[in-house]
Amino acid sequence: MSTIRRLQTDVAIVGGGIVGSSAALALRRMGLDVVLLERDLCGSRSSGVNFGGVRRQGRPLSQLPLAQRAHAIWGRLPELLGTDGEYIRSGHFKIARSESDMASLERYRALSSDFDLGLELISAARLREQCPWLGTRAVGGSLCVEDGQANPRLVSPAFALAAQRAGAQIFERHHVDEVAHDGAVFMVRSGNELEVQAPVLLNCAGAWAGTIASQFGEAPPLRSRSPVMAVTEPVPHFMTWSLGVEGGGIYCRQVARGNLVLGGGTGITLDADRARVDRDAIATLAMQAVELLPALRHAHFIRTWGGTEGYLPDRQPVLGPSRTTRGLFHGFGFSGAGFQIGPAAGEVLAELARDGRSSTPIEAFAIERFEPAPAPVSASVPAAHPH
């Protein structure tokens, strides 16, 4: 008969995506003990299968402080993780397909001017000259030279590995099925194998975070959706920028090997764990791709895929303290855009665990925006401190 293994730690984390893993790394760098439980492999969900866009341009202004913090972390990947994860500051170009789209890019540049994104508006004439490979519908656009792209299959697991090297205890293939709180300490159970006790719990369970939140009487309106992705066979290299379109739709980037990675549309969510691409969405993506980049006319898709991502109605994450339980902090619902800000969200969660507050503004991401705050369930859980 197996006996359950019991561990005590400063901070327990549920979920080893880029958010949970970077929180684990930041906590170890602060000197706190941390145990992370991941039911699959770290970085195997949204964080490892996403498009790989590392962009600040186009984010709501309320996300820009977090995005700027993340930008600095991305610049230090080799030092932090021991790999660059194929991260390059290739530039992110947002295409305008009408004068009104161009006007909205101009407005965004003015509104975001405090954040030093270095946005540069490019006219139709200059675009024709500089990017002869672009289809005819572009009337101009906005370039963020220092935004870029990375390989999510490398970057996200690397955060977990770096955290482990720094001393975090990471348990993969450990599904958290029960979380209890006795007023002072969380008990996080994975079957009959492991129980982790900690005064602080970080809920970084991605699209599944609502299950953890509901155990503490919280019901954020989190919904799963699956963005559709495709990659072509390698074609001669012609594009360094990562491309997006104002108003949404297709986005694409070309990797060093020549393949074009494309995204757009939504697939089918089969159940809580499985998502599939939708045939119609792939057909639409293929047509949009050829319209945007005529060089792709004869290119084949060699793979299509999706991934399960948690969305909130206002497309902003929940990042901050629980409204019911002291010591519980949430970081989920990144709504299709958490890869770039994930490492900063992890640092913020580590600060919340240690100090109870964040040095980056996160008010816009409070869970209270969905439900008014009741009286706390427990009032005496201290923030974690290093042993």
Ligand X SMILES: Cc1cc2nc3c(=O)[nH]c(=O)nc-3n(C[C@H](O)[C@H](O)[C@H](O)COP(=O)(O)OP(=O)(O)OC[C@H]3O[C@@H](n4cnc5c(N)ncnc54)[C@H](O)[C@@H]3O)c2cc1C
Using CB under 6 A, list all residues that contact ligand X.
Answer: 14-20, 37-40, 44-47, 49-53, 175-176, 204-208, 227, 229, 263, 306-307, 309, 332, 334, 336-340, 342
Q: Inter-axis angle of helices 338-355 and 152-165, to 10 degrees?
A: 20
Burial of residue 72 (CB within 10 Å: 0-12, 13-18, 19+) is exposed
Amino acid at 365: F
User: Closest by alpha carbon to 98, among 249, 259, 202, 284?
Assistant: 249
Q: How far is the CB of 156 from ligand X (least distance, A)?
A: 7
Contact assessment for residue 339 and residue 253, using Cβ atoms and an 8 Å cutoff: no
Q: How far is the CB of 119 from ligand X (least distance, A)?
A: 18
Cβ closest to ligand X, residue 67 vs residue 102: 67
Q: How far is the CB of 204 from ligand X (least distance, A)?
A: 5
User: Closest by alpha carbon to 13, among 362, 342, 328, 334?
Assistant: 328
Provide the 8-state DSSP code for 338. Answer: H
Cβ closest to ligand X, residue 102 vs residue 293: 293
Cβ closest to ligand X, residue 18 vs residue 213: 18
Q: How far is the CB of 385 from ligand X (least distance, A)?
A: 25
Give the CA count within 13 Å in the CB-facing half-sphere of 142: 27
- Residue least distant from ligand X (Cβ): 17
Cβ closest to ligand X, residue 108 vs residue 171: 171
Distance CA 63, CA 354 (A): 22
Cβ closest to ligand X, residue 53 vs residue 199: 53
Distance CA 94, CA 247 (A): 10
Distance CA 210, CA 221 (A): 8
Cβ closest to ligand X, residue 18 vs residue 102: 18
Q: How far is the CB of 49 from ligand X (least distance, A)?
A: 6
DSSP string for 76-141: THHHHHSS-TT-B---EEEEESSHHHHHHHHHHHHHTGGG---EEEEEHHHHHHH-TTS-TT--EE
Distance CA 304, CA 315 (A): 25
Q: How far is the CB of 324 from ligand X (least distance, A)?
A: 19
- Phi and psi at 35, nearest 5°, equal -125, 125
User: Closest by alpha carbon to 136, among 126, 124, 148?
Assistant: 124
Cβ closest to ligand X, residue 19 vs residue 222: 19
Cβ closest to ligand X, residue 13 vs residue 102: 13
Q: How far is the CB of 382 from ligand X (least distance, A)?
A: 25
Q: How far is the CB of 21 from ligand X (least distance, A)?
A: 7
Q: How far is the CB of 367 from ligand X (least distance, A)?
A: 15
Cβ closest to ligand X, residue 44 vs residue 322: 44
